[in-house]
Amino acid sequence: MTHCVGFQLADEAATVKMGNQLAMLMEQGAVIYLHGDLGAGKTTLTRGVIQGFGHQGKVKSPTYTLVEPYELATANVYHFDLYRLGDPEELEYMGIRDYFSPTAICVVEWPEKGGEFIPTPDLDITLRYVGDARAIEIQSISPRGHSIVDKLKNHSE
């Protein structure tokens, strides 16, 4: 059974804040899939998650490197952007499975390009345009994801 919650995000700051909230609600590792058109806010949301775990510097999209690691005091966060991935098998050559440990936070943009080489997510998130704002839909897939979504629902009420 999945749990789902949706919010309106007025601007970039609201998107970063949502990422911060998600980070605060993760007690251990998680796999997060991000869906949405180019410019819909996937990297902005990821910046909020990474900053929520204490990162102070810039957060850039790993469009060409495929993964950007953030080894922080409170968590290891790995930001994947599979937009330019030619063949899912390339992930096997880069040792993708090593990143997905039970305690790591793995945020994956364009997960549909990863095929069976990336694990099932805990959270499946879609961002879309609504005029100048964004809408976010967060769907839980696993028990860990259910816990995060339930806490997010309670936190926002």
Encode pLDDT of 79-138 as tens digits.
999 998 989 998 988 889 899 999 999 999 999 999 889 999 999 999 999 888 899 999
* Cβ neighbourhood burial of 146 (10 Å; 0-12, 13-18, 19+): middle
From the CA atom positions of the chain, what is the Rg in Å? 14
Predicted confidence band of residue 8 (pLDDT cuts 50, 70, 90): very high
Q: Which amino acid is at 118?
A: I
Domains of the chain as residue ranges with CATH: 4-156 (3.40.50.300)
Q: Which residues, listed in sequence order, are joined to residue 138 by a DSSP beta bridge?
A: 5, 125
22-26, 55-59, 66-70, 118-122: which range is least confident on average? 55-59
**Tokens, residue 33:** 């899939």
Confidence of residue 157 (pLDDT cuts 50, 70, 90): low
